[in-house]
Amino acid sequence: MVLSVVLLSCAVYIGNAQSTYQPYSYQFYQKLNNVLYSTDTRLHTALKPFIIDSALQPRYDSLMQLGVTERASWGGRKLYNEHLIDIKKDDHTFYADFLPDFQIGRDFAGGGRTTWLNTRGAQAGLTIQDKFSLYVNFFENQAVFPKYLNDYIFENAITPGQGNGKTSYSNPKMSDWMYSSATLSYTVNKYLNVTLAYDKNFIGDGYRSVLLSDISSNYTALKLTGTLGNVQYMSMWTYMLDPVHPRSDTYDPITGLPTRGGDNWKWGAFQYLDWNVDDRFSVGLFQSVVWGAKNAAGRRGFDFNYFNPIIFMRSVELTNTSSPDKMHLGLNTKYKALKNLSVYGQFLLGEFVAKNFFSTNGHVTNKWAAQVGFKGFDAFGIKDLNFLAEYNTARPYTYAHFDPVSNYSNYGQALAHPWGANFRELVGILNYSYRRFDFSFQGTWGQFGTDPNPEANFGGDIFKSYLTPTNEYGNYIAQGVKNNLLYGDGRVSYLFNPKYNLRIEAGAVYRRQEIPELGKHPQTGMITLGLRGSFRNFYYDF
């Protein structure tokens, strides 16, 4: 009872938040590391995206003024210094921008394919005093991707992280899709923030998250965030789409295609409690519950039992003696080991059966995921040289459910790691900024197991029921058809306008997937050049 009172109190408070909403992008957020992970600050760093607060404001403002100099002409100011529309008054601000993303490339290792991206986007933002903010964006896109991405889009009708990806049998190489976001944030007082958004969320301090990541498409969420001193608490309820399980099971008698009943939907409730123990160490507790709108008993709406904002509400679920819902529990920690280096980690528990968890029998119920890594800034005394090294892994059948409708996914993609489950991965990232120039490199090595045929279930495909495992015992990470993946991505860019990240960017990607059992080794070796804008964050490294 005492714990409930304390947590409810935390939910009513939030620190000195401002109205500036910053869309989440790892590439941009890591430039805040020298404030977020400094031993001189005690900030909550796991919940993203941020609403920029007073502690981050000076660093954020310096990034928004990077390379800005006095310019007399209107065109010069708009190209290099300002938003396209930029209104600043004492009690409100408004801005709007055109967001281009035009790229051309050549995949030399993937059959000599010419790749391109034609994106026309726009964004607008409104703030009223330090209470209210509204942010919206919209993108219209056409593209020819490298073969491995094109195959994924054609098979799943999903552009990774961006919703429906339309292709056609007449031109299967080209994708056509739209993408939008919207965030409405209100700071009730210096203690409470309420956000209603069609957007993504991320929990963690690394590049990946095994708790909640931003790899899937946008979803609707109502989020309450509170901070009382060194304790931060978030409770969020989500409405997500599920095209893997359409609303209608009927088929058109002429075309044989499913009737247009629309995508199904699913619900989620997420809680995260973060405690900054001191200036160096923090620990966070995570809980999620996901349930489908359609299960064995038929249609189902929002379950108001889960409107309870208190973390560890397992007792609520246990009052339903045959609950069809999927719950995960997790831990997130970080420790500032040195002045410019932090160690972080996560652990997620999908199911706990003590005799199997603490044994080596490889039982199907032994479902967990883990992360460990370190990150830092100003490496070797070089200002603005940021780095990260990270290891992620998930046991087979983690994130799956006995009813696939309630698995840990949104819009046909996992809510945690892009490989689903049954994998291990190493990631390394370097980033260096010098004036308007930015240099970045990412390297990834991983192993993951896939199924040799649709009937098999070795635990990597979270859209299959964990009640149909190929083996009950003897399961191990990367079982099934083993895939070895090597991925490298290098980019150099020159920043024109920091306000909306307008830049010219050249990049190179190398991807090699070894499947020894099948004697296959598809490769991508690609260079790109483009004019890019916005802070969007997409994951094509799978």
Give the tens place of pLDDT for each residue, 254-308: 666 656 556 778 999 999 999 999 999 999 999 999 988 765 555 666 666 677 7
Two tokens at 210? 């095994």
Cα separation, 57 vs 64, whole angstroms: 10
Q: Is the preceding peptide bond at 49 cis, omega within 30 degrees of 0?
A: yes
User: Residue 244: pLDDT above 50?
Assistant: yes
Across the chain, which distance is largest between two alpha carbons, in Å?
A: 73
* pLDDT for position 251: 62
- How far apart, in whole angstroms, are the C-alpha atoms of residue 318 and residue 335? 35
**235 secondary structure, DSSP code:** E
Work out the percent of the chain whose per-residue pLDDT is above 70.
88
How many Cα neighbours within 13 Å face the side chain of 463? 17
The tokens for 179 are 């993408």
Classify residue 320 by its DSSP letter.
S
Pair of tokens at residue 436: 């308007």
CA angle 492, 507, 81 (to 5 degrees): 45
User: Which pLDDT does position 292 carry in this prediction?
Assistant: 82
Q: Band of the pLDDT at 414, cuts 50, 70, 90?
A: very high
Average pLDDT, the chain: 88
d(CA 206, CA 343) in angstroms, rounded, equals: 10
| Residue entry with tokens 């059959």 | 111
Q: Are 132 and 193 in contact (CB under 8 A)?
A: no
pLDDT in tens, 8-65: 333 333 333 346 889 999 999 999 999 999 999 999 999 999 988 778 999 999 999 9
> What's the DSSP call for residue 380?
G
Instruction: Please tell me the predicted confidence (pLDDT) of residue 351.
Output: 83
Listing DSSP states for 103-153 in one string gives EEEEETTTTSEEEEEEEEEEEEEEEETTTEEEEEEEEEEEEE--HHHHHHH
348 vs 366: CA distance, rounded Å: 12
Q: What is the full DSSP assignment across 333-357?
A: EEEEEETTEEEEEEEEEEE--HHHH
Retrieve residue 249's tokens.
């099971």
pLDDT tens-digit map of 121-153 = 999 999 998 889 999 999 999 999 999 999 999
> Is 483:513 a contact under the CB 8 Å cutoff?
yes
List, for residues 155-212, the tens digit of each pLDDT value.
888 999 998 877 767 677 888 999 999 999 998 877 889 999 999 999 999 999 999 9
Q: Which position has the higher pLDDT, 227 or 507?
A: 507
Which neighbouring-strand residues pair with 371?
A: 346, 392
- Token readout for 500 is 């909306």
Structure tokens at 119: 């994106």
Mean pLDDT of 330-347: 97
* 228 band by pLDDT with thresholds 50, 70 and 90: confident
**Which pLDDT belongs to residue 4?**
40
Alpha-carbon gap, residue 491 to 27, rounded angstroms: 11
Exposure string of 93-127, with b = 16+ CB inside 10 Å and e = fewer, is bbbbbebbbebebbbebbeebebbbebebbbbbbb
Q: Which two tokens stand for residue 444?
A: 């990834």
Going by pLDDT thresholds of 50, 70 and 90, the confidence category of residue 353 is confident
User: Residue 315 has what pLDDT?
Assistant: 47
More confident residue, 110 or 273: 273
Mean pLDDT across 333-347 = 97
- pLDDT tens figures, 426-481: 999 999 999 999 999 999 999 999 999 999 999 999 999 999 999 999 999 999 99
User: Which residues lie across from 386 on neighbouring strands?
Assistant: 431
Residues 381-395 have a mean pLDDT of 97
